[in-house]
Amino acid sequence: MSAQPVPAASAGTQPDATADFAKFLCETRYEDIPAAAIAATKRSIFDTVGVMLAGSGPSGTARKIVGMLEAWGGAPEATVIGHPARLPAPHAAFANGSMAHQYDFDDTHDEAVAHPTANSLPAGLAVAEARGNVSGRELLRAVALANDVSCRLGLAVIGSLYEYPWTRPPIIGIYGATSAAAIVLGLRPETIESAFGLTLHQTGNTLECLYASGSEVRGFRDGFSARNGVTAAYMAAAGVRGDRSALEGKFGLFNAFFRGEYRREALLKDLGSHFVADRISIKPWPSARETHATLQAVLELRAAHKLAPGDVREVRLHVGGTNLHFCEPAAARRRPAGRMDALGSLPFAVAVALQHGSVPLVAYTDAALKDAAVLALADRVSWQVDAARSADGTIEGATVEIETSAGVKHRHSVRHGMGHPDAPLTDAVIKHKFEGCGAMAHRPPATRDIERLWQAVQSLDSIAVREFAELLPR
């Protein structure tokens, strides 16, 4: 974008953008949301339930969190995906949010570097169930508008993910969670401003969780955001006043977390008339979205030349500054210590793609991480830094070379991975993805139940949240 950064010194010289967002959340009706944005929101809701279901399985960290929350008890207000428990709204949001990123399979906005629905849906759904008598249309409105807020926050930030110590998706996603909860609670603009201020003081998550081997934090980070967003909205509803300069204040979000360097035009231009959240990508494979163009290039080369794993002598990746983070340190990336480490490893993901001809969830189970065939392929993956790829930004394109055991070299480039809004997944692929996610759950849902849920999501604007919740896998 051509807009210039807003210098930190200008903070306080104009009304805070929080007021603009509060007005947007209150005044934008369901009928004002374009059909494309509603359709994208429905796909994201269905997809996010699926990835939560995968994260609910017996090997996931979320199961430990749910057990802790069940022990605490409280009013049985809201559903926990994949579990029989019902919990108070903030706890249900925490539990469901903790499941959404367990396989790094939740939706993204590639340019904003956001995982919007992993935050907005757990928050909005939990509050809607707790309130009762909320329409599916209102939940759709809440998720669609909340996703627009978090995506705009991400698009406004200048610089790549790794230029700051913060993990951008939960840092901005928490404001989506607050937005969804505030809409369902029916908060007035000035109360939403307080809710954003209360959110500011609960905002956190650093990139350390991407580097600390064995850490589980990256998988459940959105649980913190969903819970804290719901808490902020309820506190504001109770009359607790927060900072009304949460975004652009002297120590607000942009100045405290992003050096005061952001594009105000990207934040607010055409707010309410242009919805950036209709550009959300749905992932075809688990693992960090930054790796997906490379995975697509590998899979397309494998298919085009009918390569078997044994045919591969060497794979050379041309990576930019972003994907270099997923390649080094080389020894740790080729031999990931656990699932979250594997999901952040480009050499491991490439090896999985070559071995399986896809990137299945089962390749990230504890046993599969020790698959000798996959690890042998990972040893054949090398990389070099390509300045042209670095110019792509946080979501890089890919150039891949594969040399066969016969000495033949194949080369292929891909700019955006599948699922990007310019190359969206079909409904059939999204349903197939859900089936794969469901297979990881403690009790996989039947195909007919998946189809019933799909139909319910497509009809969400004409049913109650209660009817939708009754179909959620438990």
Residue 11 pLDDT more than 70? no
Per-residue pLDDT tens digits for 19-50 = 999 999 999 999 999 999 999 999 999 999 99
Q: What is the mean pLDDT of the chain?
A: 95
pTM here?
Answer: 0.95
What architecture is the 8-279 domain classified under in CATH?
Answer: Orthogonal Bundle (1.10)
Q: What is the dihedral of CA 316, 317, 320, 322, to 10 degrees?
A: -130
For position 213, what pLDDT does the model report? 86
Instruction: Return the SS3 of 460.
Output: helix
Predicted confidence (pLDDT) per residue in 389-429, tens digit: 988 888 999 999 999 999 999 999 999 999 999 999 999 99
**Where does the chain hold its CATH 3.30.1330.120 domain(s)?**
289-414
d(CA 105, CA 176) in angstroms, rounded, equals: 19
Predicted local confidence at residue 307, as pLDDT: 98
Give percent of the chain above pLDDT 70. 97
Report, as an integer, the average pLDDT of 134-151.
Answer: 98
Asked if residue 7 has pLDDT above 70, the reply is no
Domain 289-414 has CATH 3.10.20.740: no
Q: What tens digit of pLDDT does each residue of 178-189 get?
A: 999 999 999 999
The pLDDT of residue 4 is above 60: no
Whether 139 shows a pLDDT value over 80: the answer reads yes
Residue 200 to residues 55, 223, 415, 452: CA-CA distances in angstroms? Answer: 28, 16, 35, 39
For residue range 277-310, list pLDDT tens digits in order.
999 999 999 999 999 999 999 999 999 999 999 9
pLDDT tens-digit map of 344-398: 999 999 999 999 999 999 999 999 999 999 999 999 999 999 998 988 888 999 9
According to CATH, where is 1.10.4100.10 located in the chain?
8-279
